[in-house]
């Protein structure tokens, strides 16, 4: 059976976040809570950041991503915190290195940073990267 079964278990098709939350609660008596900043933006993404920055709860409706989230959770350009902890869906070494260059690499001559604005959803993604770099003091 696919999906959640309400058990602390490691198996295919179980949602990692939900399963981990259940295990923390059941075995360690730790009550998990959402990782959000004071503006309700999430510290951890579940998909590539340019895509997540386009998710619009108002226009797209209540699909699985929004399930269980507070009504005032950030959406679109305010979905992801400006000091992100984890950005998922980047698995290949070259993707991880590109992500590092975008967020931490030098500004001058940074090809990865220049490409951000040219990809799908580029303007939104570029603004986000610039805000993260500023918030983290990369370009100071």
pLDDT at residue 131 is higher than 60: yes
User: Quick one: 63 exposed, middle or buried, by C-beta within 10 A (0-12, 13-18, 19+)?
Assistant: exposed
Contact 79, 132 (CB under 8 A): no
pLDDT in tens, 45-81: 989 999 999 999 999 999 989 988 999 999 999 999 9
80 token code pair: 């992801």
Contacts of 122 (CB under 8 A, 6+ apart): 50, 116
Report the mean per-residue pLDDT for the chain.
Answer: 89
Segment 90-119 shows an average pLDDT of 90
pTM score over 0.85:
no
pLDDT at residue 14 is higher than 80: no
Higher pLDDT pick, 6 / 53: 53
Contact 123, 76 (CB under 8 A): no
Confidence label for 1 from pLDDT (cuts 50, 70 and 90): low
Confidence label for 4 from pLDDT (cuts 50, 70 and 90): low
């Amino acid at each position: 059976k696919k999906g959640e079964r309400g058990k602390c278990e490691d198996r295919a098709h179980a949602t990692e976040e939900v399963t981990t939350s259940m295990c923390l609660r059941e075995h360690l008596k730790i009550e998990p809570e959402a990782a959000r900043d004071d503006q309700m933006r999430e510290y951890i993404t579940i998909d590539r950041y340019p895509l997540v920055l386009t998710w619009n709860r108002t226009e797209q409706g209540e699909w699985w991503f929004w399930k269980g989230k507070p009504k005032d959770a950030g959406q679109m350009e305010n979905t992801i915190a400006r000091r992100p902890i984890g950005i998922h869906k980047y698995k290949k070494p070259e993707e991880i290195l590109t992500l590092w260059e975008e967020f931490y690499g030098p500004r001058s001559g940074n090809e990865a940073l220049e490409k951000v604005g040219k990809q799908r959803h580029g303007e939104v993604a570029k603004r986000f990267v610039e805000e993260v770099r500023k918030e983290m003091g990369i370009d100071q």
